[in-house]
Structure 1
Amino acid sequence: MSYKLLVLDIDGTVTNSKKEITPKTKEAILELQKKGIPVAIASGRPTKGIVAVADELDFAEYGSYVLAFNGARIINWKTKECIYSKELPIGIPKKLYDDAMHYGTGLMTYEGDSIISAKIPDEYIMIESRITTLPVIKKPDFKSYVNFPVNKCILTADGELLESIEPVIAEKYQLEAQVFRSEPYFLEVLPKNVDKAYCLERLLKILGIEREEMVCCGDGFNDISMIQYAGLGVAMANAQEKVKDVADYITINSNDEDGIAEVIEKFFLK
Structure 2
Amino acid sequence: MKNNMNQHLIAIDLDGTTLNDQSQLSSETILTLRKLAADGHIVSIVTGRPYRISGQFYDQIGLKSPMVNFNGALAHIPHQQWQFEYQQNIDRQIALDLLTHRQDLGIHTMTAENKMHLWANQPSHVMKDFFPTHLATNEVLNSLNLTSNPTALTLQYEPNDKQALIGRINKNYGANVDIRVWGGPHSILEVVSKGVHKDAGIEHIAKAYGIAQQNIIAFGDEDNDSEMISYAGRGVAMSNAIESIKQIANDVTQDDNDHNGLAHYLQDYFKIDVPSQFAV
Q: Same fold (TM over 0.5)?
A: yes
Q: How far 1:171 sits from its partner (Å)?
A: 4.5
Aligned residues: 262
Unaligned runs of 5+ in 2: 273-280
- TM-score, normalised on structure 2? 0.83
Provide the identity percentage. Answer: 24
Distance 1:80 1:46, change over 3 A: farther
Question: Which residue in 2 is equivalent to 1:44?
Answer: 48
Question: Which residue in 2 is equivalent to 1:121?
Answer: 124
User: Which whole-Å CA distance do the structure 1 matches of 2:218 and 2:206 have between them?
Assistant: 13
Q: How far 1:38 sits from its partner (Å)?
A: 0.9
Larger helix fraction of residues: 1
CA contact (8 A) 2:16 2:257 kept: yes
Distance 1:122 1:77, change over 3 A: closer
Q: How far 1:157 sits from its partner (Å)?
A: 3.3
**Residue 236 (structure 1) aligned with residue 238 (structure 2):** yes
- TM-score, normalised on structure 1? 0.85
Tell me the SS of whatever aligns to 1:179: strand
Distance 1:213 1:168, change over 3 A: farther
Tell me the SS of whatever aligns to 2:192: strand
Tell me the SS of whatever aligns to 1:20: coil
Alignment of 1:87-126 (within 5 A): 87-105=89-107, 106-110=109-113, 115-121=118-124, 123-124=126-127, 126=128
Q: How far 1:257 sits from its partner (Å)?
A: 0.4
Alignment of 1:238-257 (within 5 A): 238-257=240-259
Determine which of 60, 85, 88 is the counterpart of 1:86: 88
CA contact (8 A) 2:71 2:224 kept: yes
CA contact (8 A) 1:41 1:66 kept: yes
Unaligned runs of 5+ in 1: none
Q: How far 1:96 sits from its partner (Å)?
A: 2.2
User: Which whole-Å CA distance do the structure 2 matches of 1:156 and 1:214 have between them?
Assistant: 34
Q: How far 1:77 sits from its partner (Å)?
A: 3.9
Q: CA RMSD in A?
A: 2.6
Distance 1:41 1:163, change over 3 A: farther
Question: Which residue in 2 is equivalent to 1:211?
Answer: 213
